[in-house]
């Protein structure tokens, strides 16, 4: 009997050692066949001599324990999570905030595992309880399921009492296997490994979790000082010594923002080749004395933050298809969905263009859809996840009346139009367009204010904008306004009168005349009267002006109402001549990238100035970039510019560039 007991202990030791090499060191020490042989020998012995079976036997991992409900677990200290940030500027602000309290802080950088956090409690080195985070204070007891996770040590290398926190996750490989099985069994598929992991730990029968092949990555010890630990890096090393899988090959350290950004970029490169999903980088102040000084806000620790990678494509649910009326009367269906973070910002709507597009995509309200940012700016619906339909989705149906004025819609090519020129929505959209940045650039006359002024009767047509001073006293009385802001607005309206011809041409909202065409026409004809007199044939001869544009321009200037508007605007002293300032396109064809914090300019402000001079401002540096404007604490874009030999402009060079 003693021999048998000895052999069983020996087998357990061999299996545990193999698991340790495999999960903790990423370095398998025996073949799968050898592992299976040891394992089945142990199983056989355990079934023959059940009273010799040990409580910490690795065979317990196959599960089989069934509970009837999840017990509540109160965490000894709250299981918090970090605030999320999404871009370089927020990293800079985080670092600045930290340095106010801890000027010499450095950080640990860890991949942000995309699973769910779990707390494991060990007594004298033996796993006694595992719990979910729950609401942070009270979680659920999932010990039966966590015991099936092979990378969770049932027994530690030291006989200590300790709580360990980390991420329960499913590897990409196991996720694929799991969904393949579900497909065969005609069960609904999991959307991602995180949902699959969360669904698996919330199973009453642990043999289900065992089959799902979950994993655990340790990253946090709640009371590290108990073990003489002085830094987060030491916590991670200690976890590894105890027998936990940590991301020891990927975790890093950084002394400043530059190193943080380099780490992020590097990890982003490796991301697709990792065996598990990550969705960002977790930054923690390394020194635990610093950590203690920083403490917590009401909700979150101040000593750490989670940087989330820009999601390039995310899933959400289509809540509504909303039809909007544009300034030309064009009706656009729009997807309204639960807000999601895509490529660095929160979006909740995307255009669905027109009826044909909706029918082709077969969108239904209630569908799970994937969203991405086209050209990194405009959100678009990539795909409808038809396999996730429940049958309750509502099919798309095109409307036949204008949602604003009720007039019957008319189809022209792929689009429907409201042809009612008095349609209030069309008028409002026309006014918004007239005042916007790319057209007359009237500061203070944004979308909401135009709409309010329209509804209050102050601005019903374009010429009313230039008569707004007649309502000065009324405006000052409005909530949110005052003498100063009204004066600023009126001044901005006055200034817009001097804009060059191309601005007002674009602002008038002539169909098919966008920013570029307006410029071509203004340069060619110099005054609006010349343009009004131009024939359709003459217009067509101009480069970049095709028949459709020529026809539309001619149509616009043949309409009495439009000619009356132009006359009225002339009387109100609006300029209708092309102002050939070489300033206008001084930077035409040039592309700039901004990085780091500038003292004198806000990013948006400098972007506007550069764009007004004809330049483009983009977010990534390539060998076609004309220059990179570098502020304080520049990011990796600076390094890339140096590498590619792209011209660098410091803050003090900006004036020379733009003046």
Catalytic residue ranges: 112
Listed ranges 51-59, 74-82, 122-130, 369-377: which one lies at the site for ligand IVH (CB under 6 A): 74-82
Find the length of the chain. 659
Listed ranges 13-21, 111-119, 121-129, 365-373: which one lies at the site for ligand IVH (CB under 6 A): 111-119
By the rule CB under 6 A, 82 interacts with ligand IVH: yes
Listed ranges 22-30, 79-87, 174-182, 341-349: which one lies at the site for ligand IVH (CB under 6 A): 79-87
- 92, HSE (Cβ side, Cα atoms, 13 Å): 13
Minimal distance, residue 110 CB to ligand IVH, in Å: 4
Question: Closer CB to ligand IVH, residue 285 or residue 569?
Answer: 285
By the rule CB under 6 A, 250 interacts with ligand IVH: no
Q: Alpha-carbon torsion 78, 79, 85, 88, what sign?
A: positive
Cβ contacts of 511 within 8 Å, gap of 6 or more: 328, 552, 555, 556
Residue with tokens 């066949």: 33
By the rule CB under 6 A, 167 interacts with ligand IVH: yes
By the rule CB under 6 A, 290 interacts with ligand IVH: no
**DSSP-based three-state secondary structure for 206:** helix
- 241, HSE (Cβ side, Cα atoms, 13 Å): 11
Count of CB atoms within 10 A of residue 157's CB?
15
Cβ contacts of 100 within 8 Å, gap of 6 or more: none
- Quote the tokens at residue 560: 């009495």
Question: Closer CB to ligand IVH, residue 14 or residue 165?
Answer: 165
Listed ranges 80-88, 381-389, 502-510, 643-651: which one lies at the site for ligand IVH (CB under 6 A): 80-88
Minimal distance, residue 114 CB to ligand IVH, in Å: 7
Listed ranges 78-86, 310-318, 501-509, 621-629: which one lies at the site for ligand IVH (CB under 6 A): 78-86
Listed ranges 108-116, 141-149, 416-424, 569-577: which one lies at the site for ligand IVH (CB under 6 A): 108-116
Phi-psi region of 509 (alpha: psi -120 to 50; beta: other; left: phi over 0): left
Cβ contacts of 116 within 8 Å, gap of 6 or more: 132, 133, 167, 168, 169, 194, 197, 198, 201
The values of phi and psi at residue 551, to 5°, are -65, -45
Please report, to the nearest 10 degrees, the dihedral formed by the alpha carbons of residues 620, 624, 626, 628 taken in order: 30
Listed ranges 45-53, 110-118, 402-410, 460-468: which one lies at the site for ligand IVH (CB under 6 A): 110-118
By the rule CB under 6 A, 214 interacts with ligand IVH: no
CA distances from 537 to 515, 525, 534, 543 (A): 22, 14, 8, 12
By the rule CB under 6 A, 113 interacts with ligand IVH: yes
User: How far is it, in rounded angstroms, from Cα 529 to Cα 387?
Assistant: 59
Phi-psi region of 344 (alpha: psi -120 to 50; beta: other; left: phi over 0): left
Q: Which of 20, 38, 122, 220 binds ligand IVH (CB under 6 A)?
A: 220
Question: Closer CB to ligand IVH, residue 81 or residue 351?
Answer: 81
Question: Closer CB to ligand IVH, residue 137 or residue 399?
Answer: 137
Cβ contacts of 415 within 8 Å, gap of 6 or more: 330, 331, 354
Minimal distance, residue 215 CB to ligand IVH, in Å: 13
Question: Closer CB to ligand IVH, residue 306 or residue 335?
Answer: 306
Question: Closer CB to ligand IVH, residue 142 or residue 418?
Answer: 142
User: How far is it, in rounded angstroms, from Cα 60 to Cα 46?
Assistant: 11
By the rule CB under 6 A, 215 interacts with ligand IVH: no
By the rule CB under 6 A, 303 interacts with ligand IVH: no
Q: Which of 110, 367, 393, 502 binds ligand IVH (CB under 6 A)?
A: 110
- 213, HSE (Cβ side, Cα atoms, 13 Å): 13
Minimal distance, residue 167 CB to ligand IVH, in Å: 5
Contact 371, 337 (CB under 8 A): yes
The number of residues that bind ligand IVH (CB under 6 A) is 13
Question: Closer CB to ligand IVH, residue 117 or residue 439?
Answer: 117
Minimal distance, residue 262 CB to ligand IVH, in Å: 18
By the rule CB under 6 A, 112 interacts with ligand IVH: yes
Maximum Cα–Cα distance for the chain, whole Å? 111
Minimal distance, residue 220 CB to ligand IVH, in Å: 5
Residue with tokens 């459709």: 548
**Containing H/E element for 433?**
helix 424-435
Listed ranges 66-74, 75-83, 261-269, 328-336: which one lies at the site for ligand IVH (CB under 6 A): 75-83
Look at residues 348, 332, 512 and name the one whose alpha carbon lies nearest to residue 404.
332
Going by their DSSP bridges, the two strands 415-418 and 591-595 should be labelled as: unpaired
Q: Which of 109, 306, 368, 646 binds ligand IVH (CB under 6 A)?
A: 306
**Containing H/E element for 372?**
strand 368-374
- Quote the tokens at residue 362: 């077969």
Minimal distance, residue 282 CB to ligand IVH, in Å: 4
Question: Closer CB to ligand IVH, residue 43 or residue 198?
Answer: 198
By the rule CB under 6 A, 117 interacts with ligand IVH: yes
By the rule CB under 6 A, 219 interacts with ligand IVH: yes
Q: Which of 11, 45, 149, 282 binds ligand IVH (CB under 6 A)?
A: 282
Question: Closer CB to ligand IVH, residue 284 or residue 637?
Answer: 284
User: How far is it, in rounded angstroms, from Cα 535 to Cα 556?
Assistant: 12
Question: Closer CB to ligand IVH, residue 86 or residue 576?
Answer: 86
Minimal distance, residue 90 CB to ligand IVH, in Å: 14
Look at residues 571, 382, 389, 555 and name the one whose alpha carbon lies nearest to residue 467.
571
Question: Closer CB to ligand IVH, residue 245 or residue 528?
Answer: 245
Going by their DSSP bridges, the two strands 368-374 and 378-384 should be labelled as: antiparallel
User: In the range 320-379, which residues lie near ligand IVH by CB under 6 A?
Assistant: none
User: How far is it, in rounded angstroms, from Cα 177 to Cα 61?
Assistant: 19
By the rule CB under 6 A, 301 interacts with ligand IVH: yes
Minimal distance, residue 218 CB to ligand IVH, in Å: 9
Cβ contacts of 422 within 8 Å, gap of 6 or more: 405
By the rule CB under 6 A, 134 interacts with ligand IVH: no
By the rule CB under 6 A, 475 interacts with ligand IVH: no
Minimal distance, residue 61 CB to ligand IVH, in Å: 23
Minimal distance, residue 247 CB to ligand IVH, in Å: 7
By the rule CB under 6 A, 81 interacts with ligand IVH: yes
Question: Closer CB to ligand IVH, residue 202 or residue 401?
Answer: 202
**DSSP-based three-state secondary structure for 322:** strand
Q: Which of 67, 80, 398, 542 binds ligand IVH (CB under 6 A)?
A: 80
User: How far is it, in rounded angstroms, from Cα 111 to Cα 554?
Assistant: 60
Give the interface with ligand IVH as residue ranges (CB under 6 A).
80-82, 110, 112-113, 117, 167, 219-220, 282, 301, 306
């Amino acid at each position: 009997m003693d021999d048998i007991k000895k052999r069983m202990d020996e087998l357990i030791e061999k299996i545990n050692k193999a698991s340790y090499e495999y999960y903790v060191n990423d370095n398998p020490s025996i073949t799968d066949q050898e592992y299976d042989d040891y394992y089945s020998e142990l199983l056989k012995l355990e079934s023959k001599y059940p009273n010799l079976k040990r409580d910490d036997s690795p065979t317990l991992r196959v599960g089989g324990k069934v509970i009837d409900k999840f017990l509540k677990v109160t965490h000894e200290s709250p299981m918090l999570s970090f605030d999320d940030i999404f871009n370089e500027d927020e990293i800079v602000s985080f670092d600045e905030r930290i340095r106010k309290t801890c000027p010499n802080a450095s950080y640990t950088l860890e991949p942000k595992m995309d699973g769910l956090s779990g707390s494991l409690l060990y007594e004298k080195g033996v796993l006694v309880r595992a719990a979910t985070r729950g609401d942070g204070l009270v979680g659920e007891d999932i010990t039966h399921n966590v015991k099936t996770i092979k990378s969770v040590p049932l027994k530690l290398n030291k006989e200590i009492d300790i709580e360990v926190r980390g991420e329960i996750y499913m590897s990409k490989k196991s996720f694929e296997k799991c969904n393949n099985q579900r497909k065969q069994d005609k069960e609904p598929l999991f959307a991602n490994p995180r949902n699959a992991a969360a669904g698996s730990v919330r199973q009453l029968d642990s043999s289900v979790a065992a089959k799902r092949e979950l994993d655990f990555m340790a990253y946090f010890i709640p009371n590290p000082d108990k073990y003489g630990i002085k830094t987060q890096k030491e916590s991670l090393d200690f976890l590894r010594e105890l027998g936990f899988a940590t991301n020891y090959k990927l975790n890093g350290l950084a002394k400043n923002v530059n190193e943080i950004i380099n780490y992020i970029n590097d990890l982003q490169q490796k991301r697709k080749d990792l065996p598990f999903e990550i969705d960002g980088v977790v930054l923690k102040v390394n020194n635990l004395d610093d950590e203690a000084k920083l403490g917590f806000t009401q909700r979150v620790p101040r000593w750490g933050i989670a940087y989330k990678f820009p999601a390039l494509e995310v899933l959400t649910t289509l809540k509504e298809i909303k039809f909007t009326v544009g300034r030309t009367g064009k009706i656009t269906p729009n997807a309204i969905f639960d807000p999601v973070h895509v490529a660095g910002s929160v979006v909740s709507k995307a255009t669905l263009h027109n009826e044909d597009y909706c029918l082709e995509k077969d969108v239904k309200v209630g569908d799970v859809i994937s969203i991405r940012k086209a050209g990194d700016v405009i959100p678009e619906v990539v795909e409808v996840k038809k396999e996730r339909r429940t049958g309750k989705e509502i099919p798309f149906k095109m409307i036949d009346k204008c949602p604003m004025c009720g007039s019957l819609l008319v189809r022209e090519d792929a689009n429907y139009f409201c042809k009612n020129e008095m349609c209030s929505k069309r008028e409002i959209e026309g006014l918004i367009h007239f005042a916007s940045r790319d057209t007359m650039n009237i500061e203070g006359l944004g979308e909401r204010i135009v709409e309010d002024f329209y509804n209050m009767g102050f601005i019903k047509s374009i010429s009313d904008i230039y008569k707004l001073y007649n309502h000065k006293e009324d405006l000052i009385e409005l909530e949110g306004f005052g003498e100063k802001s009204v004066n600023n607005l009126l001044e901005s309206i006055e200034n817009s009168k001097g804009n060059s011809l191309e601005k007002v041409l674009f602002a008038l909202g002539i169909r098919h005349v966008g920013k570029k065409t307006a410029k071509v026409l203004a340069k060619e004809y110099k005054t609006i009267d010349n343009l009004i007199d131009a024939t359709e044939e003459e217009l067509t001869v101009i480069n970049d002006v095709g028949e459709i544009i020529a026809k539309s321009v001619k149509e616009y200037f043949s309409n009495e109402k439009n000619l009356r508007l132009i006359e009225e605007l002339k009387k109100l002293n609006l300029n209708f001549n092309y102002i050939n300032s070489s300033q206008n396109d001084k930077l035409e064809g040039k592309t700039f990238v901004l990085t780091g914090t500038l003292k004198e300019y806000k990013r948006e402000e400098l972007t506007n100035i550069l764009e007004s001079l004809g330049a483009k401002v983009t977010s990534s540096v390539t060998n076609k970039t004309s220059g990179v404007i570098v502020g304080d604490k520049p990011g990796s874009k600076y390094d890339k510019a140096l590498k590619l030999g792209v011209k660098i402009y410091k803050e003090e060079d900006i004036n020379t560039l733009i003046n």
